Amino acid sequence: MKKFTRKTQKLETRNKLVAAAIKLFSRNGIVSTSTESIAKAAGVSHGTLFLHFRTRDDLVFAVITRFGEHLCKAFKEHTEKNIKNLKGVLKAHLTVVEEFEDFYAHLVMELALLAPKIKSYFFIVQATVSHRMFIHAEHEMKLGKIRKIKRPLLFNTWISLLHYYLINREIFSPNQSVMSEKSKELLEHFLHLVKP
């Protein structure tokens, strides 16, 4: 039988709030989701939410942090599975993005409206992806398999293409996940751009 202490109950309530927020942010967007609707979805009072998170931005930051930790962990696991080239790293990135597609698309579209600490954390997550990507790209540049491109330009080109597909997913794939339908096309196009 599980023993509930005040500390474990507090942690469980916090986790429920974060999980409810992720679900609602994925469906309705980050900016337009109210703290009241998050509390209701988590099965707690509106006031309880503010016992766990002093401000709405603190809750959003907790959600972004949870997402970032999961994304980095999953991305690391994918890239460590005998991936030895840039194409494999990019496929792993697309796999992870597809898993969080709805939430990630809203995050990308609404980032300019979010608090500075949330933006900063998002860029830290992106830097992790950029680092793993460039390790393999640099090796392939030395072998002449891809053009010599500076790290920021290489990553910015990739992430811009990826974000463009996500932001315009209603056009590219109105009835299903744009990542499941278009990731192969996106990957092949990017690899064509960086060929020598």
Q: Tell me: the pLDDT tens digits for 135-177?
A: 899 999 999 999 999 999 999 999 999 999 999 999 999 989 9
Q: SS in 3 state form for the chain?
A: CCCCCHHHHHHHHHHHHHHHHHHHHHHHCCCCCCHHHHHHHHCCCHHHHHHHCCCHHHHHHHHHHHHHHHHHHHHHHHHCCCCCCHHHHHHHHHHHHHHCHHHHHHHHHHHHHCCHHHHHHHHHHHHHHHHHHHHHHHHHHHCCCCCCCCHHHHHHHHHHHHHHHHHCHHHHCCCCCHHHHHHHHHHHHHHHHHCC
CA distance 14 to 8: 10
What structural domains does the chain harbor?
1-54 (1.10.10.60), 57-194 (1.10.357.10)
Q: Per-residue pLDDT averaged across 79-90, rounded?
A: 82
Question: Which pLDDT value is given to residue 14?
Answer: 96
Confidence check: pLDDT of 91 > 70: yes
Extract the tokens encoding 76.
Answer: 């690391």
Listed range (44-48, 91-95, 164-168, 183-187) with the worst mean pLDDT: 91-95
What share of the chain has pLDDT > 70, as a percent?
A: 97
Question: Which pLDDT value is given to residue 2?
Answer: 55
Listed range (71-75, 85-89, 105-109, 121-125) with the worst mean pLDDT: 71-75
Residue of 66, 161, 163, 64 lying closest to 108 (CA atoms): 163
* Total length of the chain: 196
Question: Which pLDDT value is given to residue 73?
Answer: 83
What pTM, to 2 d.p., does this model score?
0.89
Q: Which residues of 115-128 are buried (b: 16+ CB within 10 A; e: fewer)?
A: eeebeebbeebeee
Q: Which residue has the tokens 């990017």?
A: 190
Confidence check: pLDDT of 71 > 50: yes
Question: Which pLDDT value is given to residue 82?
Answer: 66
Extract the tokens encoding 97.
Answer: 């993005």
Confidence check: pLDDT of 184 > 70: yes
Question: Which pLDDT value is given to residue 127?
Answer: 92
Question: Which pLDDT value is given to residue 78?
Answer: 75
Question: Which pLDDT value is given to residue 19?
Answer: 96
Q: Tell me: the pLDDT tens digits for 10-56?
A: 999 999 999 999 999 999 999 999 999 999 999 999 999 999 999 99
- Contact (CB, 8 A) for 115 and 53: no
Question: Which pLDDT value is given to residue 3?
Answer: 60
Confidence check: pLDDT of 1 > 50: no
Residue of 127, 185, 117, 195 lying closest to 156 (CA atoms): 127
